[in-house]
Amino acid sequence: MTVKYNIYKRRPEIDGLRALAVISVFFYHAGNSFFGNGYIGVDIFFTISGFVITQSVIRAQLEQSFKLIDFFERRARRIVPAFYFWLIIAAFLAWLFLPPKTNGITMESFSNSLLYSLFFGSNLYFWDFVNYYSQEVFLVPLIHTWSLSVEMQFYLTIPLLFVGLRQVIATFPSTKKYYYAMLFLSIASILYISLDIKLSTNDHDSFYFLTSRLFEFMFGSLAAIFLFLIGNRTNNIFPYVHEGLAFISFVTIAVSISPSNFLEISKVGRILAANIGTAVFIVF
């Protein structure tokens, strides 16, 4: 018997992936040599976010309770208070310890990054300020806010795709399954275009922008729609294949953040391994 996928069920294994991503990034910025590629944790997080947000929109649409303003309000209430409180603490510490204006990281540069962070645009500021792969990045106080800025920009983008496509398909006689199948194809197209932008742009220019990061979220979005359309059929028909793919995907994620001296892989190769591994792990 086929068991329908429960979109309301909490997924503790995804919380485990989040923890792995956070730990990887933390030890990377701490300078731990074993986590020399720990920055890939951000890429894991982006794919998880794509899955979680897309599933949230699907759930609301199934309940016929989805409204753009409500979605944006929930995101803001979840993120803004804690983030702004942290920025206040960071600003106070910067006022105490940073020099006003000399060479290097100063109160002036911090204030600029703080202003951009307030409006979730710090990724644009840091693109012009510092190369993430340089040693100087470890001295930039708010550098990690770039990823939250990219996430917030994604949160403003994905619901518009859902609403826009629904409006287009509403003019034709169709089923919900048809709508989500079309959504799947649309997201796959966006993934392809974004990945092409990533591959055709240098590391620095492609690092900070949503356009060259969007494909990472889209892997998660595809996983959410796939689960909604297919459900747990693979688990019921091929249980051993299901478990094997889950294990292989986790190993792929681990390899993506492994030290370069363990396995030599390009940056894009590691990113794709993390994205695909995360999406497959979520599905299986």
Domain spans in the chain, listed from the N-terminal domain onward? 12-64+149-283
> Residues 37-49: what's their mean pLDDT?
94
SS3 assignment, position 224: helix
Q: Please check the confidence at residue 256 and state whether its pLDDT lies above 50.
A: yes
Model confidence pLDDT, tens digit, residues 71-115:
999 999 999 999 999 999 999 998 888 877 655 678 888 999 999
Alpha-carbon distance values, 40 to 133, 202, 239, 254, 271 (Å): 12, 17, 30, 10, 6
Q: What is the pLDDT of residue 137?
A: 81
Q: What is the pLDDT of residue 1?
A: 36
Alpha-carbon distance values, 172 to 4, 61, 168 (Å): 27, 18, 8
Lowest mean pLDDT among 76-85, 114-123, 190-199: 190-199
Q: What is the pLDDT of residue 228?
A: 82
Model confidence pLDDT, tens digit, residues 127-160:
988 888 888 887 888 998 999 999 999 998 888 8
Angle (CA) 31-36-38 rounded to 5° is 95
* Nearest alpha-carbon partner for 269 in 203, 220, 211, 193: 203
Contact 77, 105 (CB under 8 A): no
Q: What is the pLDDT of residue 231?
A: 65
Taking the alpha carbons at both ends of the chain, their separation in whole angstroms is 18
Backbone angles phi, psi at 112, to 5 degrees: -65, -45
Q: What is the pLDDT of residue 172?
A: 62
> Residues 209-219: what's their mean pLDDT?
93
SS3 assignment, position 266: coil
Confidence of residue 182 (pLDDT cuts 50, 70, 90): confident
Q: What is the pLDDT of residue 173?
A: 57
Q: Is the pTM of this model over 0.85?
A: yes
User: Among residues of the chain, what percentage have pLDDT more than 90?
Assistant: 41
Q: Please check the confidence at residue 19 and state whether its pLDDT lies above 60.
A: yes
Contact 219, 279 (CB under 8 A): yes
Q: Please check the confidence at residue 276 and state whether its pLDDT lies above 90.
A: yes
- Rounded CA Rg of the chain: 20
Average confidence score pLDDT of the chain: 85
> Residues 215-233: what's their mean pLDDT?
84
Secondary element (H or E) of residue 49: helix 40-62
Q: What is the pLDDT of residue 2?
A: 42
Confidence of residue 62 (pLDDT cuts 50, 70, 90): confident
